[in-house]
Structure formats: C-alpha cells, structure tokens
C-alpha cells in the first residue's frame, strides 16, 4: 500500500491508494505560517490516514514547487513556505518509510496517464499560472535534475507581455493562458474602454477578476469574448508545438481554468489543427482532464509505487 499526499496552497489531501483507487482519505487546511507548521500539518494528516489504513510501503508527495528530484529538495514554491527545504529527507525521517517528492503538475499528469491507461501524455494545468507535465512510456519526464518540463515557460512571442511567473522571459505560454494573464487583459481593456461592460466590473483593487470576466463572456460581452478568443488562439499555438515535439497519445487540459473551457477549447483545437504537423496531430487526442479531484493524491501515490518497484532516482540511494 502506498500513500499519496497533495500539498496545495489551501488544503493538504492524503489518501491510501491501491493502483489508481483511493481507499482511505483525509483533507485538512494547509498550515502555512512557517515551514515547521506546514510539515507538522502534513504529518498530522498522514497519521490520520495511516491509523485507519496501516503503515504504507512508501509515500509520494506532490507540492506546488520546483524540486531537485534526486535529492528531494524543494528549491522554490508558490503559495506555501517551502524553499531550500530537503523535503524528502525530512518526511522520510518523520515517517520511517521511503518518501518521493515531485511537482504537483507532474503528479497530475502521471495520475491522468494511469487513470486513462495512456503511456504518452502531455498535460497543461491552467490556473493562476500554467503548469506542465510530460509522461513518456508511463513515467514522468522531468529532465536531468527534476526541474524540467516547465511547459508554461515556452516562448510564444519574443516581444510579448512580461511573464507573470518567477521567470525573466516575455511572451511565455503563462503570459497568455493563465488566470493572471486573463485578469491583466481584462483590466487593460476595461481601462482603455471606460464605457465598456468590463469597465463596470473593475473592482476596488482596480482589477477585473477572472470569474467576472468568465461571466461577462458567458453572457456574450464582445470584449470578454475577444479576450478568450486570443486565449484560445495562443493555447492552440502552444499545443501545436507540444504535439510536434512529443507526439503524445493524449494532450490533456486541466487546472481551475479548464472549468471555463467552453470559452476557449474549441478555438485552441482549431488553431492547433491549423499549425501542427498533420500526421502527428491526427494521432493525438486533445481533451479535458478526467482525473477529477483526487488526481493529485493518485499521481503522488503512483509515483511512490513506481519508485518502489523500479527506482528512478539518479545518483542517490533510497533513504
């Protein structure tokens, strides 16, 4: 039996997982005042599950972070206090079993691949930022040290807007197809057109929020629809590139923004269709993620099960 742990900015989810089936689960708010509190919170959630499910053979952990996979050290994180923390070592010490730590977008992609039974899959996680995951031969591709497959930071336009992520570039996929990009575009348009509906949606913080923009587009507002048209077009440009490089069985779109996919996914597929090499595109299914709310814990657990069966760590023995 393996445990999957999904550490997010608002909640920590833990589950005992058998294959891709969740057996026992717990969920708690993320304690994020300090690193120590965060780790104590993760430990408490894990112990609640192991009390019922028994001791696991290994634990997989997904975090919203850049990770040196071989050492399990978290370099930097989004929204949680983990930076320069040897997380694998720290959690292995607390639990006395092997622990494996990976980026949450990688875990989501691994879950999706195993739930669908696809060996070659590329996943884009569209949320505040853009996460990416690449599964090759049923395993996560993560580059030499685990920091790779940052698909959100592929350049679509060298002269584009500054990337909103912790990134020096301009015109990245994340600069066009993230929640932050949508809010920026909506706010700019609202400011340029004071008589528009978007201008009426400017909040006290001087911004148009993502949910307000989605609502305006759903109600047919032309400015809002224009923003999603551009979003879909740029996403399609990126998808065409990923199809040409990876030729996956499936290219999956997940993350919170995928709930607004009716506003951009058809346009993205149309654009990808016009740009990708036809022989590759016709072999790739482009679709929304199907893993559901448990994808994070399932992916982390699949990772742990894979590492126990056939260690994939470079240059380091298992703890």
Q: Which residues bind Zn ion (CB under 5 A)?
A: 153, 163, 165, 167, 169, 172
Nearer to Zn ion, 67 or 216 (CB): 67
Nearer to Zn ion, 143 or 194 (CB): 143
Nearer to Zn ion, 170 or 197 (CB): 170
CB of 29 to Zn ion, least distance (A): 30
Nearer to Zn ion, 97 or 163 (CB): 163
CB of 218 to Zn ion, least distance (A): 29
CB of 287 to Zn ion, least distance (A): 25
CB of 65 to Zn ion, least distance (A): 16
DSSP of the chain = -EEEEEE-SSEEEEEEEETTEEEEEEEEE---SSHHHHHHHHHHHHHHHHHHH---SEEEEEESEEEETTTTEEEEESSSS-SSEEHHHHHHHHHSS-EEEEEHHHHHHHHHHHHHT-SSEEEEEESSSEEEEEEETTEEE-TTTS----GGG-BS-TTSPBPSSS-S-BSBGGGTSSHHHHHHHHHHHHHH-TTSHHHHT--TTS---HHHHHHHHHTT-HHHHHHHHHHHHHHHHHHHHHHHHH--SEEEEESGGGGGGGGTHHHHHHHHHHHS-HHHHTT-EEEE---GGGHHHHHHHHHHHHHHHS---SS----
CB of 267 to Zn ion, least distance (A): 22
Nearer to Zn ion, 121 or 172 (CB): 172
């Amino acid at each position: 039996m393996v445990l999957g742990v999904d550490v997010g900015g608002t909640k920590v989810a833990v589950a005992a997982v058998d294959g891709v089936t969740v057996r026992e689960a717990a969920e708690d708010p993320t304690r994020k005042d300090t690193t120590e509190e965060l780790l104590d919170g993760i430990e408490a959630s894990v112990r609640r599950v192991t009390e019922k499910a028994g001791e696991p053979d290994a634990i997989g952990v997904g975090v919203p972070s850049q990770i040196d996979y071989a050492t399990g050290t978290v370099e930097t994180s989004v929204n949680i206090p983990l930076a320069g923390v040897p997380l694998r070592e720290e959690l292995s010490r607390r639990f006395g079993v092997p622990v494996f730590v990976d980026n949450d977008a990688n875990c989501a992609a691994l879950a999706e691949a195993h739930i669908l039974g696809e060996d070659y899959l590329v996943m884009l996680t569209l949320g505040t930022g853009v996460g990416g995951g690449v599964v090759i031969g049923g395993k996560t591709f993560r580059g030499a040290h685990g920091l790779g497959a940052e698909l959100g930071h592929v350049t679509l336009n060298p002269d584009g807007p500054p990337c909103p992520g912790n990134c020096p570039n301009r015109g990245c996929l994340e600069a066009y197809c993230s929640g932050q990009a949508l809010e920026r575009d909506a706010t700019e348009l609202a400011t340029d057109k004071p008589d528009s509906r978007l201008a009426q949606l400017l909040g006290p913080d001087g911004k148009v929020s993502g949910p307000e923009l989605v609502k305006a587009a759903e109600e047919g507002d032309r400015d809002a629809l224009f923003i999603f048209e551009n979003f879909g077009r740029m996403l399609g440009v990126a998808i065409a590139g990923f199809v040409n490089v990876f030729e996956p069985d499936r290219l999956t779109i997940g993350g919170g923004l995928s709930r607004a996919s009716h506003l951009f996914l058809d346009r993205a597929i149309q654009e990808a269709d016009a740009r990708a090499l036809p022989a590759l595109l016709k072999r790739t299914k482009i679709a929304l993620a199907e893993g559901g709310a448990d994808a994070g814990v399932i992916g982390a657990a699949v990772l742990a099960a894979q590492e126990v069966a056939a260690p994939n760590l470079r240059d380091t023995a298992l703890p």
